[in-house]
Structure 1
Amino acid sequence: MRVEPIATDEAPTPRAAYSQAVRCGSLLFLSGQVGTDPGTGRPVSEDVGAQTRQALENLRSVLRAAGASMADLVSVRVYLVDTGDYAAMNAAYDAAMVEPYPARTTIYCGLNPGNKVEIDGVAMLS
C-alpha cells in the first residue's frame, strides 16, 4: 500500500521532518495542528479558545487538501497545557464539530512556547 503525503499552504508549513498528513489506503493521518496563523507563523492569540479555533481551521484546511471534511474525522486527540483551559477549548471544539462526532482523547502535556493547544486526528476517506 502506497503512502501519499498531503500538504497545503492554507495550514502552517511543517518546520521539521513530518507531513501535514499522510494518506494510507482509506485512512488519513493528520499531524497535530496548533493555533498558529499560516501566514505569520505565530499563535493567533494567547487565548486558548482562539488557538483552538485556529488549530481546527488548520486541520480543516489539511482535510480539504485531501478531499475530506470534518465529518470524515473518526478520532481526535487534543493536547492541552493547562487543565484550567479545558472549558474554553471544549466550547470552541464543540462549535466546530459535526455529527457523527469523532472519538476524542484529551491529554495534558507541555507544548512549544506560546502554544496552549494542539489537535491531531485520523479521518476515513472514501
Structure 2
Amino acid sequence: MSKSDLTLDDFMTGLIAGLAELDIKVVSIRGNSFYRAVVDAFNEFEPKAVEAKVRPRFWLTLNRVYGDSPDVRDALTRAVQRDLVSLDNPEYQDMRLKISASDAEMYLAHLPGSADLYVEAARRFKSAYAAA
C-alpha cells in the first residue's frame, strides 16, 4: 500500500482525532444515528480525499434492514483495541474519546492527506449526527 492509500482504520482514527479537535468527548452510539453520521461524513470526505490524492481503499454503506454498518462497528472495535476510545459500561452505548485535542494533532499528522480533511469529516459527522 502506498502512503496515499487510506484504510478504514485510518479514516476512523482521523474521524476520532477530528472529533477530539472539536472538543467532543462522548458520542452515543445507541440506535442508528451514529452509523448514519459516520457514513455521511465518509461520503462527503471521499471526493475531497481523492482530490487531495488520497485513495480510500474501502467504502461504507448502511444495512438496508437494520440501518447500521458492520464495517463501522468493526472499525469502532479496532479503535477500542488501539485505545483511541472506550465504550462505557454497562451497555457499551457511549463512545468516550481517550485522546485529547493535543493528542489529536499527532494522530492527524500521521494519516494520509491533511489534518483538515479529517477535521472537516468530523464537522460533517457532528452536523449529520445532530440532524438525525
Which range, TM-score by smaller chain?
A: 0.3 to 0.5
* Higher RCO (C-alpha under 8 Å, 6+ residues apart): 2
More helix by share: 2
**Structure-2-length-normalised TM-score:** 0.31
Q: Which structure's residues are more often strand, by fraction?
A: 1
